Amino acid sequence: MASNVLKLRRPDQLAEPAEMLESVSIRGKPDVLDAAIAFDRIARNRGMRITMWHDISSQEPMVDADGQALNSRVFGCDAQDGALWEDYDKALRSQLIRACRVESEPFWVNRDGFRTRWQNEFLAEIDLEDFEARSLVKAAIVVPLHLPFGQIAAVVFTSLDQSREDLSGEFAQYGQMLSDLARRFVAGYVNAMRANPYLPTENVLTNREIQCLRWAAFGKTDFEISMILECSHATVRYHIKRTCDKLGAVNRAQSIFRACQLGYIGAVN
């Protein structure tokens, strides 16, 4: 299914006040509920409804300071909306969630295709057969959010008129604004609600350590890496051990994972 490339209006053309961004800003747990209510009001005033996940790799719901789920308490999600995440296998097959793994810019989608700022060949490979049954919407504006440590969030906007299948007008008029608001809200939420930093702060790797990890990520053994880098087997083992210590990892696999989270190693093809 080919993607259609669209051009979004600039934020200054939308002439939306800065107070809107401030209203959805979260600086601590007590701010979550008020920020969510403000975000919901902004969306509904434009005929849209929100569903969001702060981490598409987790079934943990977004909650306020009292532990109440935001999607149901604030955003008015019904049983059908919640069903997508209650069945995690089904959620993984949703075209909306799959698209967020390969696209970082806002887009809108229905059964006829993805509409994006620019062509994305990965989106074109996503099968949209049974779109409504698998994604539980007729059409949606989706804002993928690629956050620190490799975390991916998804904010989905659907029309209050659930029969709507064409959101091109809403995307053109509100797409950039909704994206800015979603990023501000979710980034604040994740920062406020993260229980414990799971990566150490002293994690600056040397160029040689990165080289060793990168080749290890490609499946090379220590001996093979030593031949590639023209150094001793012991030297490679030393550098990989050092990365484990710096990243708080228990083995090379976890070192590679955490190095990827921090951007030391790019995608391994």
The bridge status of strand 4-5 relative to strand 48-53 is: unpaired
Place domain 4-193 in its CATH homologous superfamily. Transcription factor LuxR-like, autoinducer-binding domain (3.30.450.80)
Token readout for 148 is 């620190």
Region 74-87: what's the mean pLDDT?
64
Q: Which CATH class is domain 207-261?
A: mainly alpha
The values of phi and psi at residue 194, to 5°, are: -65, 120
The domain ranges of the chain are 4-193, 207-261
Token readout for 255 is 């070192």
* Per-residue pLDDT reduced to its tens digit, 124-165: 999 999 999 888 899 999 999 999 888 999 999 999 998 999
Q: What is the pTM of this model?
A: 0.84
The bridge status of strand 48-53 relative to strand 107-110 is: unpaired
* CA distances in angstroms from 162 to 48, 81, 117, 144, 205, listed in the order given: 10, 12, 25, 22, 50
* Per-residue pLDDT reduced to its tens digit, 159-203: 999 899 999 999 999 999 999 999 999 999 999 998 765 566 667
Is the Cβ–Cβ distance between 138 and 42 less than 8 Å? Answer: no
